[in-house]
Amino acid sequence: MLSTLLLLSLLATARTAPQTGPIEQIDCQRDSVKSCSCKSGAALTPLRRSWNGDLQDHFYTPSRDEQLNYVGLGYKVESDMGFIATATPGDCAGIVPIYRMSHVESHDHFYTTSYIEMLNYLRSYYIESTAIGYCMSGPGCGLIPLHRLTNWTIVDHLYTIDDAEKDRAMQGQYDYNGIQCYVWSSLDATDC
């Protein structure tokens, strides 16, 4: 009886396992990213997300004050998208800056960890590149993917850690661009 229940629950688990998303299972004992040493000293802070439906723009910042400024401009506060680093520990290989740029006429904000892509966008009407913080270029313990999606009709870039939201957005609203980088899922020091 007990083993039948166990088998059934294992089957149920297998059937409800995520079908999509390139989330890799990391063996924390052999974590090559060393995300634990990255986490300590990284001064993690939430990646705060806001949305303005009139301007059709998602806006991301680690700064509570900056988010409140955008609320004053008509943006609504949405869920945080994990945690990003505001400092770069010396022993943390794979930590990369998140560059933010804006497109004035279309009210778009674009974020990338690629220096080359940042330069390309600066040549294509995007301005004011600033590094808002840091994330990890590869998967690791305590890290989750930050997905990037684009809709060029409304000119909006959407970033999410929520696989279900990513899947919904891909149903005719946004094109999927892939994983921009990996962010920390919590401030808890014991999950890595």
Footprint on this chain of ligand NAG (rule: CB under 6 A): 151, 153-154, 172-175
Beta-strand runs (E) in 104-138? 108-112, 127-136
Residue 136 or 158 with smaller CB distance to ligand NAG: 158
Burial 108-123 (b: 16+ CB within 10 A, else e): bbbbbbeeeebeebee
Residue 66 or 78 with smaller CB distance to ligand NAG: 78
185 closest CA partner among 163, 169, 155, 152: 163
- The distance of closest approach from Cβ of residue 153 to ligand NAG in the complex, given in angstroms and rounded to an integer, is 4
Report the residue closest to ligand NAG, judged by CB: 151
Q: What is the DSSP letter of 60?
A: E
Q: Which residues contact 57 (CB under 8 A, 6 or more apart)?
A: 51, 75, 107, 108, 109, 156
| CA-to-CA separations, 74 to 47, 78, 130, in angstroms, rounded | 19, 13, 22
**Cα–Cα distance, 168 to 81 (Å, whole number):** 17
Q: Whose structure tokens read 């300590």? A: 40
- The distance of closest approach from Cβ of residue 119 to ligand NAG in the complex, given in angstroms and rounded to an integer, is 25
Residue 115 or 152 with smaller CB distance to ligand NAG: 152
- The distance of closest approach from Cβ of residue 151 to ligand NAG in the complex, given in angstroms and rounded to an integer, is 4
- The distance of closest approach from Cβ of residue 87 to ligand NAG in the complex, given in angstroms and rounded to an integer, is 37
- The distance of closest approach from Cβ of residue 174 to ligand NAG in the complex, given in angstroms and rounded to an integer, is 6
Residue 48 or 166 with smaller CB distance to ligand NAG: 166
- The distance of closest approach from Cβ of residue 152 to ligand NAG in the complex, given in angstroms and rounded to an integer, is 7
Residue 42 or 169 with smaller CB distance to ligand NAG: 169
**Cα–Cα distance, 51 to 59 (Å, whole number):** 6
Residue 23 or 55 with smaller CB distance to ligand NAG: 55
